[in-house]
Structure 1
Amino acid sequence: TTYDIDTTAYSLAIKRSRDNIILPSLKLLIREIKQMAELYKGKPMLGRTHGQPAVPTTMGKELMVFAIRLFREYQELKSIIIEAKLNGAVGNYNAHFAAFPNVNWLKFSADFIDSLGLKPNLFTTQIMPYDSFIKIFQSLFLINQVLIGFNQDLWRYISDDYFLQKIEEKQVGSSTMPQKVNPIDLENSEGNLGIANSLLGFLIQKLAISRLQRDLSDKTVKRNIGMAFAYSLLGYQSTLKGLNKLSLNEKFLKEELLEHWEIITEGIQTILKTGGDIQAYEKLKEFSQGKKLDQNQIKNFVEDLKVNPKTKKQLLNLTPLNYLGLAEKLVDEGIKIIKF
């Protein structure tokens, strides 16, 4: 059947596109994010949960979270073995066996598919189950979703002045507002990845099903695989381009942190609890909830606590700039994991 040729061609096209285009592009992007994480691993910034000021983190650690997520799925995408078939009209080698009954068709077809760098699937109808294709599409879908979240976080960081954007001489920020430098690369990436995932999502849903021994609805759908790959590629390239325009606004990050001393109350109540104060959380809640506190307010609160001098000194040493936990160490661990 022509389907044996058709599906093998698609298997080869997907494999070569993944190996020669998608994976190298992702590798460049993940490497850039990792390098930025290393560069900014010790740069404190205000954390936000539910959009509200939370305990501090570092820009490097937040970037490393995305780098690790992408690297793990990159490894998964790279490892997926793509299948193909050569077994006739309903998958039983009917014509093959009738014409040449002495040939070991199971071995012959498996050897041929193997020679193409694909995995033979002996158990099919006329349609080879698209499970290996779907695994590729699912992996790409997840990578793209992670990158959409990454683009959106970077967009917010730019909006909040955490990152400054390099000015390109010929770039127009706005048709009417000459002062603007818009994060267009990240926005373009988000849009392209969204289109890619619309296509990938439908491919995942549709190609899992075929009526009886064959229907033709898969054929027209498969013609859009290249579109999904192309929009994904545009997204990766746009994100990388956007990253190369960013520089960290360290001065602003420091200033913002020092306006929010209330973010270290978590550390204060935890230290007090370890010293046996079972009401520590309630005390800090009454003192800080819904308030923006400065250094003097924190200092006065700690000074009034009835704790031993060692504990008081430990509490007074806490600042929004040093209450970072193991953020830097986590970046170092991530660098060890990402091997390129």
Structure 2
Amino acid sequence: MEHVPDTTIPTVGPATRVTLADVSPAIALGPLDGRYRKAVAPLVDHLSEAALNRERIHVEVEWLITLCNGVGDGAVVPGAPTLTEAEQAYLRAIPTTFGADEIAELAEIERETVHDVKAVEYFIKRRIAAAPEVLGTTDLPAASELVHFACTSEDINNLSYALMVRGAVRDVWLPAATAVVDQLADMAREHAAAPLLSRTHGQPATPSTLGKELAVLAHRLRRQLRRVDGAEFLGKLNGATGTYGAHTVAVPTADWPAVSKAFVEGLGLDWNPLTTQIESHDWQAEVYADVARFNRILHNLATDVWTYISLGFFTQIPVEGATGSSTMPHKVNPIRFENAEANLEISCSLLDTLSATLVTSRLQRDLTDSTTQRNIGPAFGHSLLAIDNVARGLDRLAVNETLLREDLDANWEVLGEPVQSAMRAASVAGVPGMENPYERLKDLTRGQRVDGARMREFVAGLGLPDDVAARLAALTPATYTGLAEQLVKDYLD
């Protein structure tokens, strides 16, 4: 008897679903720490929770050194030990060596304190207690109670965030943004003379050059970069409600505003002399508004380039082995510019929320800023990711100059503008027969196509002076670009 294989589908009992939250190492909840990690990784050193704690340690250490060694004329707190260079180096090594083990230790302390800044204070005091074993003879333990002296948590936090944002802007975001604008400016110069049929309201309009249109965007972006580059990063250290109350009671002999100013400026920040418990965060709103404006102009670039690609003016150089569409093998999708659009929109939403929330606080303090500021990283991360995508997208573009010229040659009606303008000038000069120039060109061109022969025939019959008629007869849509090329050379910095 012939054997018939069993084709019955086996019955399987209900499977236990893996809980992804329990997988180790931890799976990222958001794409910036997962799929897009490589593009935004440099921001981790500035805007992560670990970076915040490192800056808190840095600020606390520098405050301790200031209290002991003063700002030029001895200790701020009478009786405080004058720290040697070795002791100062030991303290400053605490934030510079803050790594994985220290992050874990600080997290363990915070689980006990249930307060992040207090955990930082205890973390530093542990290091001070261990100093004699490392340094031998040291007065550091005698200074232990000066850690976090007269400070509210916001004294430490506002300075830490200012240092973090300054570092992220100057060391990561600005260099990346500047590089993509330089890339765009180079393209503008390269194609300064390439004629392009403009489109206003989506309709054929006065020609320009591709380089000039790119230069406009580069010029706009550079203006925003100058604003961001000139940003202020403010900080304060003045106690629980900005009055130096605890400072003056504990040490009435010190000029506390002068000490605070010297300390804040010594960190490389701008001093804010008048605050409540919190530094007012107005400077943050200003920076975020400028970055958001840069984002929106870059978004305009992405949509314009996307449109030029759809028109065929730009072709995309395929990436070897890449798939444009899962079903249509011919496609090379403008994914870099589409990705940039979406991430710029997310970044702007976060930056707008940060700006709106951070400039308000109930009376002398509420904690809305605390959780809000923890989203500074994602706000800059989505912008940095978009910048990376735009740069990669621009790098894969080639100009289809043949199609540009064909598009121009198919739209001779755009020469209606210079012809009627020449007629107006001739009319003012007293040339007869130049009446109603706009209306006559409107009748010739509106809603209909005009080729070169028809346009030249019309011009020849106008009775214009010979030099004007010759100039218009020689004009083509491709040569009607005005000063576009020269504008790029003269004004694109």
Matched, 1:227 2:372: no
- Match runs of 1:2-21 below 5 Å: 2-21=153-172
Q: CA deviation at 1:29?
A: 0.3
Higher relative contact order (CA 8 A, sep 6+): 1
Matched, 1:166 2:317: yes
Superposition RMSD in Å = 0.8
- What TM-score, normalized to structure 2? 0.67
Q: CA deviation at 1:305?
A: 1.1
Matched with 2:438 is 281
Matched with 1:311 is 468
Q: For 1:275, what is the secondary structure of its paired residue? A: helix
Deviations 1:44-86 (A, max 9, x none): 0100001000010000000000100011110110001110110
Counterpart selection for 2:447 from 268, 281, 290: 290
Counterpart selection for 2:234 from 60, 68, 83: 83
User: For residue 173 of structure 2, what is the amino acid of its counterpart?
Assistant: I
Bigger radius of gyration, 1 or 2?
A: 2
User: For residue 329 of structure 1, what is the amino acid of its counterpart?
Assistant: Q
Q: Distance in 1 between matches of 2:182 and 2:411?
A: 33
Q: CA deviation at 1:282?
A: 1.0
Matched with 2:50 is none
- Match runs of 1:63-102 below 5 Å: 63-102=214-253
Q: CA deviation at 1:310?
A: 2.0
Matched with 1:137 is 288
Q: CA deviation at 1:218?
A: 1.1
Matched with 2:185 is 34
Q: CA deviation at 1:278?
A: 4.3
Q: Distance in 1 between matches of 2:172 and 2:366?
A: 31
Q: Distance in 2 between matches of 1:118 and 1:131?
A: 14
Q: For 1:22, what is the secondary structure of its paired residue? A: helix
Matched with 2:95 is none
Matched, 1:114 2:265: yes
Matched with 1:327 is 484
Matched with 1:175 is 326
Q: CA deviation at 1:308?
A: 2.4
Q: Distance in 1 between matches of 2:435 and 2:154?
A: 71
Q: For 2:198, what is the secondary structure of its paired residue? A: strand
Q: Distance in 1 between matches of 2:202 and 2:453?
A: 25
Q: Distance in 2 between matches of 1:184 and 1:299?
A: 44
Q: Distance in 2 between matches of 1:293 and 1:204?
A: 52
Matched with 2:212 is 61
User: For residue 279 of structure 1, what is the amino acid of its counterpart?
Assistant: N
Matched with 2:89 is none
Counterpart selection for 2:175 from 19, 24, 28: 24
> Structure 1 runs of 4+ off > 3 angstroms?
none
Q: Distance in 1 between matches of 2:462 and 2:163?
A: 70
Q: CA deviation at 1:307?
A: 2.1
Q: Distance in 1 between matches of 2:487 and 2:435?
A: 31
Matched, 1:246 2:397: yes
How many residue pairs align between the two structures? 336
Q: CA deviation at 1:318?
A: 1.4
Matched with 1:191 is 342
Q: CA deviation at 1:322?
A: 0.9
Q: Distance in 1 between matches of 2:317 and 2:468?
A: 46
Counterpart selection for 2:418 from 258, 261, 267: 267
Matched with 2:64 is none
Q: For 2:197, what is the secondary structure of its paired residue? A: strand
Q: Distance in 1 between matches of 2:189 and 2:225?
A: 20
Q: For 1:176, what is the secondary structure of its paired residue? A: coil
